[in-house]
Structure 1
Amino acid sequence: MTAPPITTIPFFSPELFEQDREALLETVRAIGTGPEQTFILGERTACLERELAGRTGAREAVACSSGTSALTLILAAMGVGPGDEVIVPAFGCAPLAATVVDAGARPVFADIDPVRLTADPAAAESLITSRTKVLLAAHMFSVMADMPAFRDLADRRGLRLIEDSALAQGGTLRGRAAGRWGDAGVYSFVQVKTFGMPGEGGMVVTDDTALAADVRMLRNHGQDGVHRFVHHRIGHNSRFDEVMAAFQLHRLPGLDARLARRAEMAARYSRRLAPLAGRGLVAPPEGGDGRFPYVYTVLTERRDALRAHLAEHGVGAHVYYPRPLPAHPAFAPYARPGGSWPNAEDAARRTISLPLYPNLTDAQVEYIADTVCAFADTQGDR
């Protein structure tokens, strides 16, 4: 094993924006002292929307206050409400189900594909009823869901399709950007995401201009942007911050380089860890269509022991979703009686993620890989 790092390697980097410190401070000063005093939904936000629409090929991009809020706005714009059902993955982040519940609808949990760890389209189709209004597919860790299958399913069954790409910006599948397979897609800009920032924020992308207009109205208390204090619908406060919009515009030119660096590190991990498959640790394959470098997640029956071993050697690791969504007290009342989600339960028990962010050094990546390999060597066949 290579020499241990002088300091602990955290799972979340505390220095993601260190090189942008001066730019951020100048942005705060410029907007705070500017004569127009526009702090939300100004020209910088509009410019960011145009840039991301152009980058993804979407007709419309609508900035809002978070990825969760983006889901909320889309569901409201689609008219989802009491009596409706939305099919969601059984494994993933709480907003996948919580936003459906908040809309007054029922989340219906579909088991996941055991390899992709994203919702299984066949499982989703088996759950469609006369009440089903929307399919909500979500990308997971660093793998896109089977969006061609979900697109086909939505079209065949006359359903709306939402693509939760909160963590997948930069991913593509069959040449189409993540977020562009659904009737609407979602991005998140929370700091650890691939296009993260030092704050909360999100974006809705869509080709449906009517849907985009509704989302714009709903994000600002139901106002249409023309007549202030005229509220056409019950909306939300989900407006985008001008400081963060300017900061994202500053960071956008470097996004591809940061994504490439993440991908390079993920490939290093995969090359080093692939031989461990016979010793109880399954690493994702190197590269491939439909992959994006967000986090690097492996599967192991000895997750707790691996996490302790990494911590003992100065490496932070993270377990994202230690139980499937239907097993949470908040969502159990919505789960179908007698339902089972074996693949989701297996993923919740076995997944663990390693550090993956652009400012990791090659030496740190090799040290982390060495540490995982050493763990496999010491565990033997246990």
Structure 2
Amino acid sequence: MTTLPFFPPDLFEQDRQALLDIVHEHGTGPSQKFILGERTAALEEALKASTGAKHMIACGSATGALELCVRALGIGPGDEVVVPAFCCQPVASAVINIGATPVFADVDPWTMVMDPEQVPSLITERTRALMPAHIFSIMADMPGFVELGKRYGIPVIEDSAVAEGAVLDGVPAGRWGDLGVFSFFQVKAFGTAGEGGMVLTDDDELAEVVRMLRNHGQDGRTRFTHHRIGQNSRFDEILASFQLHRLPSFPDRLERRARIADYYTERFAPLADRGVLAPPAGRDGRCYYVYSLLVKRREDLRAYLSERQIGTHVYYPVPLPLQPAFSPWAAEGRSWPNAEQVSARNLGIPIWPHLTDGDVEFIADSVCEFFE
């Protein structure tokens, strides 16, 4: 077992007793309501206050949240949604699952996020949404995508699954698009002891539709009256309580991640001429859910760090349009050279907030020593 794993097994160790108390409280409480109750509503209100969003709709996962967004926009068979070629698979599966077609756009070769300059050539009369996604440390160029959305009259779904707490040009992640998405998956920056997600929007009509869709098409007022064909993507009351417990300390955890990233980026800057590219420096538009380098000798460095008991992680080693599941939707004759390059070169190193300063220095020293 690695001494410094990429994702540590003790993410919630300091919250262990609080979680046990919460489970007991709900399990012995008089209401016995375990989904979409008062605590879920309280979490939605708390995140509305912290982000400024008009509506927050908690749901079962961020994957489910993306599908709720696509469905809420009325997208279906024959429609197209522009998505990144290098990303987690739900950006494509959420589109395919409702019968629409993902159109894969190449990414920026440094930041690894979908490149807005690649998008205009992909827009057709069938395009119904743009779905940029924030990746690892970097928010996508949301001003660019918002401008494209306005120019072509196309809604923007902002996949902020990894970026809760990040801010770009004074606007929180999730607030740029017509709809936004957060993830509470265990290892995310605001992860929980299980699954969960959130849809953000300032649009009253979209919010009403999403709320119905997450609960079998019911409006929450009259049970067993179904206004739409919905799904079960409801949020858990125990996890809502747990997230409310952890919310006050979330800014401190984000700041710790950002400080670690600042240190890494400074240490790795001299390695640029040796085939190592660190994320762009700075705090604006940064999320630091994962700190991922681009490394030409990735497998060699990974083996070296493993020998020193430092865990690493390779994300998305094959771009989405080249995956067996998604290749039927990949346009014939198209290529995604930047996506292929970052798939072959990205290497994540530990950035979890309870790393000690000594741990962080040891990790940075190890990376630098490999290239000396």
TM-score bucket of the superposed structures, by smaller chain: over 0.9
Q: In the alignment, which residue of structure 2 is the partner of 1:19?
A: 14
Deviation at 1:7, TM superposition (A): 6.3
Residues 271 and 368 in structure 2, CA contact (< 8 A), matched pair in contact too: yes
- Of the structure 1 ranges 218-227 and 288-297, higher mean CA displacement relative to structure 2 is found in 288-297
Question: Does residue 189 of the first structure (1) align with residue 184 of the second (2)?
Answer: yes
Question: Which letter maps to 1:117?
Answer: M
Q: In the alignment, which residue of structure 2 is the partner of 1:363?
A: 358
Q: In the alignment, which residue of structure 1 is the partner of 2:233?
A: 238
The counterpart of 1:322, out of the listed 317, 322, 330, is: 317
Q: State how far apart, in whole Å, the 2-side matches of 1:275 and 1:157 are.
A: 42
Alignment deviations for residues 239-294 of structure 1 (CA, whole Å, 9 cap, x no partner): 00000000000000000000001111111111111111111111123323211221
Alignment deviations for residues 182-222 of structure 1 (CA, whole Å, 9 cap, x no partner): 00100000111110111000000100111011111010111
Residues 269 and 369 in structure 1, CA contact (< 8 A), matched pair in contact too: yes
Residues 2 and 311 in structure 2, CA contact (< 8 A), matched pair in contact too: no
Q: In the alignment, which residue of structure 1 is the partner of 2:54?
A: 59
Deviation at 1:79, TM superposition (A): 0.6
> Structure 2-normalised TM-score?
0.99
Q: State how far apart, in whole Å, the 2-side matches of 1:7 and 1:186 are.
A: 33
Match runs of 1:105-254 below 5 Å:
105-254=100-249
- Partner of 2:371: helix, strand, or coil? helix
Residues 2 and 306 in structure 2, CA contact (< 8 A), matched pair in contact too: no
Q: State how far apart, in whole Å, the 1-side matches of 2:162 and 2:71 are.
A: 22
* C-alpha RMSD of the superposition: 1.0
Question: Does residue 351 of the first structure (1) align with residue 346 of the second (2)?
Answer: yes
Question: Which letter maps to 1:49?
Answer: E
Residues 274 and 285 in structure 1, CA contact (< 8 A), matched pair in contact too: no
Question: Does residue 301 of the first structure (1) align with residue 296 of the second (2)?
Answer: yes
Q: In the alignment, which residue of structure 1 is the partner of 2:5?
A: 10
Q: State how far apart, in whole Å, the 2-side matches of 1:268 and 1:285 are.
A: 12
- Partner of 1:138: helix, strand, or coil? coil
- Partner of 2:135: helix, strand, or coil? coil
Q: Any unmatched runs of 5+ in structure 2?
A: none
Question: Which letter maps to 2:133?
Answer: A
The list of structure 1 runs, each at least 4 consecutive aligned residues, that deviate by more than 4 angstroms after superposition, is none
> Structure 1-normalised TM-score?
0.96
Residues 88 and 316 in structure 2, CA contact (< 8 A), matched pair in contact too: yes
Q: State how far apart, in whole Å, the 2-side matches of 1:273 and 1:156 are.
A: 39
Question: Does residue 262 of the first structure (1) align with residue 257 of the second (2)?
Answer: yes
Residues 163 and 184 in structure 1, CA contact (< 8 A), matched pair in contact too: yes
The counterpart of 1:99, out of the listed 89, 94, 100, is: 94
Question: Which letter maps to 2:321?
Answer: P
Residues 266 and 293 in structure 1, CA contact (< 8 A), matched pair in contact too: yes
Question: Which letter maps to 1:23?
Answer: A
Size of the aligned set, in residue pairs, is 372
Question: Which letter maps to 1:14?
Answer: P
Q: State how far apart, in whole Å, the 1-side matches of 2:239 and 2:282 are.
A: 31
- Partner of 1:318: helix, strand, or coil? coil
- Of the structure 1 ranges 20-29 and 279-288, higher mean CA displacement relative to structure 2 is found in 279-288
Q: State how far apart, in whole Å, the 2-side matches of 1:363 and 1:285 are.
A: 24
Q: State how far apart, in whole Å, the 2-side matches of 1:222 and 1:293 are.
A: 36
Q: In the alignment, which residue of structure 2 is the partner of 1:32?
A: 27
Q: State how far apart, in whole Å, the 2-side matches of 1:157 and 1:285 are.
A: 30
Identity in percent: 60
Question: Which letter maps to 1:160?
Answer: P
Question: Which letter maps to 2:215?
Answer: N
Distance 1:334 1:7, change over 3 A: closer
